[in-house]
Structure 1
Amino acid sequence: MTGTFDPWLGRVEEARDRISPRQARQMAATLGVGGEFREGADLPALWHWMGWTPEAAMAELGPDGHPARGGFLPPVPLERRMWAGGRLRFHAPLRIGEEMFRRSEITKVSEKTGSTGQMVFVTVRHEVRGAEGLAVEEEQDIVFIAMPDRFTPPPPVAAPDPDWREEVVVDEVRLFRFSALTFNAHRIHFDLPYATGVEKYPGLVVHGPLQAMLLMEAARARRGGAMPGGYRFRGVRPAFHFDSLSLQGVGDRVATVNGDGLVCMQAEWEG
């Protein structure tokens, strides 16, 4: 596939949106965050992910629930798609109810071979602007892989002894609410027969962005609600709806950890 997706490099998409007080209250309820979320209040870090949700018609969706490929994202002929990680810098606050402008650009498409076979990584760079100008610079890494015959977990990464630990429930209800708030129709998060029978996972998959947001809120709570200067996260191992998941932190590093003591997502708070 080398060079196949070169025409997608530099492709740009622009859009405007708003996050309403109602959306913010619903996300707070889903994450278990307290506070008042009024018009004009600061939007917590990462909550801009509720904006610019897919608007593809039902006839334009692929079998996995995502919009069919070949529009903004390249038509990679590998069935599985995952948000592998991301990096963000925060420059100015976004506020609930204000108009936000996002410019997205595909900056990199690379092919690799790993334990699961061929993989294609697509990096998308976003710039988000609000009333005070540039608010967020973000890079998202999306990975495409072939559909496996069976689930093969990645090599285990043991969690270090934490400074703090917080149990979190990631059951079917929380996964549904998060999917609804982000208008994410990827069936691995809510359709158990599809997740296990088609994509060969042992259960419903916990969203990477949900884990990143839970970790962000836990870190913010231990810093008096402060906003970070930057934040980076990377998926290490899938987490499932039956996992006994905990949020753990050591210094500026945080992670979701399953009941076997293995890291599922790791993240880092940057000042």
Structure 2
Amino acid sequence: MSNAYEEWVGREEAHTQRIDAAAVAAMAATLDLEGAPRAGEPLPPGWQWLFFNPAARRSGLGEDGHPRRGGFLPPIDLPRRMWAGSRINYLADLPIGEQATRRSRIVKVENKVGKRGALWFVTVQHTTQCNGTDCIVEEQDIVYREAPPPGAAAATPTRLEAEARWGREVRPDTTLLFRYSALTFNGHRIHYDQAYARNEEGYPDLVVHGPLTATLLQQLAVEHGEGRGLARFDFRGVSPLFVSRAFHIEGHTQEDGTFALWARGPDGELAMSATAVLR
């Protein structure tokens, strides 16, 4: 199939925003942390997703709550859109309270055919700079897919065989999902509109945000990093997690010193896989 969206490759945009200490404090409260990082201290990994999010007008939103197709991202005419994963390099600390700029560039638009129909993958590179220094470089994969036909069986989850050396339980409730949606200005209705999630997108309940799970995995890596920060973090979403169903974030140290991390769903299924490299 010819690439109908080839002209979007190379498209760029930039957003400048202060890494606001109030938003950081709200995130710390949302994650139920005892204290919040202060102005001048480094922004924790994953918390960069609180910033630089598009503020589309309500009249410019689609039925799913996302901004309508077109503009920076290509107008791919498939109804389901999700953040599939990222590869993140943490090059320097991003100080809280400083002004930063994120420059985004579309590096690839690719069509594939999966077991459930057509798929489009859009890869966007985000480079976040502060005071002339590149702090974070992330390649983000966005996938667009067809809606499953009515009555279609759910995909068979991948069983997780890995053995954890450390981890903890996470109990996602509606307040957690609401707060994270608000902090990231994420209007996707699968995270707060139960009727829409069930009747329109075919989920059994509200869906836990993929980047929220990825943030928790990065927090877990830092906790077991003996005071060292992250140099790199890669993650891939495998299957969804749902509100009011406890899951586990877990990991172990590999032979090369890197961390293997994952989110284990309530039935033992692999929900997200990740690797972390310490500084």
TM-score calculated relative to the size of structure 2? 0.93
Match of 1:260 among 252, 267, 275: 267
Match of 2:230 among 228, 231, 237: 228
SS in 2 for 1:188: helix
Report if the CA contact (8 A) 1:215-1:247 is conserved: yes
SS in 1 for 2:76: coil
Report if the CA contact (8 A) 2:181-2:187 is conserved: yes
Distance in 2, matches of 1:170 and 1:199, equals: 20
The residue type paired with residue 105 of structure 1 is R
The aligned counterpart of 2:220 is 218
- Size of the aligned set, in residue pairs, is 271
> Superposed, which structure 2 residues align to 1:79-228 within 5 Å?
79-131=79-131, 133-148=133-148, 149=150, 150=152, 152-228=154-230
Shift of 1:151: 5.8
Shift of 1:225: 4.4
Instruction: Please give the root-mean-square deviation of Cα atoms over the aligned residues, in Å.
Output: 1.4
Distance in 2, matches of 1:191 and 1:225, equals: 39
Distance in 1, matches of 2:202 and 2:27, equals: 29
Listed one character per residue, the Cα deviations across residues 227-264 of structure 1 (whole Å, up to 9, x for unaligned) are: 11100000011111132211111211111111111110
Listed one character per residue, the Cα deviations across residues 115-142 of structure 1 (whole Å, up to 9, x for unaligned) are: 2211000000011101260101100000
Report if the CA contact (8 A) 2:3-2:110 is conserved: no
Listed one character per residue, the Cα deviations across residues 208-240 of structure 1 (whole Å, up to 9, x for unaligned) are: 100000011111111244311100000011111
The residue type paired with residue 179 of structure 1 is S
Greater than 4 Å deviation, 4+ residue runs:
none
Range 153-162 or range 119-128, more displaced: 153-162
Report if the CA contact (8 A) 1:162-1:248 is conserved: yes
Distance in 1, matches of 2:197 and 2:113, equals: 24
Shift of 1:32: 2.8
Shift of 1:33: 2.9
Give % identity: 42
The residue type paired with residue 261 of structure 2 is V
Distance in 2, matches of 1:262 and 1:132, equals: 43
Distance in 2, matches of 1:231 and 1:2, equals: 33
Does 1:58 pair with 2:58?
yes
Shift of 1:191: 0.4
Match of 2:249 among 247, 250, 256: 247
TM-score calculated relative to the size of structure 1? 0.96
